[in-house]
Amino acid sequence: MITANIAFNGYIGLSTDTKPAALNGSRFYEMDTQKSYMYDQEGGQWIEQPASGGGGAGAEPFIITIRDSGSDKTFAEVVTAFENGQTVWTKAVGQDWYDSMTNIQWNESGTYQVSFGSNVAEAGEYDGVLYWSEG
């Protein structure tokens, strides 16, 4: 099955957690084993991805922690992680969920945006810290 132009679901959990049925190509990262999996919707199974030295599906994810005062990463760091093939995730302080990046862009208005599902984080400069966008 080939799936194109969709926002992939991303999950982070423990190896003991039950992995959900998901969209084709969704990713699951086990924090305790550092293994990455991709979901094969046609076969109904999670397939472990090979670890790779310089990034890719088996690489450790790049996690952005976002607080009211801003994030612990800059837009430039997100771009570098994305270009290196890392899966980019966000975690809001005080929340127990993670969300995977669905889009990264520069706007003509002069802001840099990273989208996580329906949530958007923005930076005013390329090397600026990301903040939740006022939506």
**Stated pTM of the model:** 0.55
> What does the pLDDT read at residue 115?
79
Token code pair at residue 65: 């922690």
> What does the pLDDT read at residue 105?
78
Which residues of the chain are modeled with pLDDT < 70? 1-9, 51-59, 95-97, 117-118, 134-135
> What does the pLDDT read at residue 91?
76
> What does the pLDDT read at residue 117?
67
CA triplet 37, 38, 39: central angle to 5 degrees?
125
* 8-state DSSP, 22: -
**Residue-wise pLDDT tens digits, 13-27:** 888 989 888 887 787
> What is d(CA 135, CA 114) in angstroms, rounded to the nearest whole number?
13
Label residue 132 exposed, middle or buried (CB < 10 Å: 0-12, 13-18, 19+): middle
> What does the pLDDT read at residue 59?
61
Pairing relation of β-strands 45-48 and 62-67? unpaired
- CA-nearest of 24, 32, 18 to 5 is 24
> What does the pLDDT read at residue 134?
52
> What does the pLDDT read at residue 55?
44
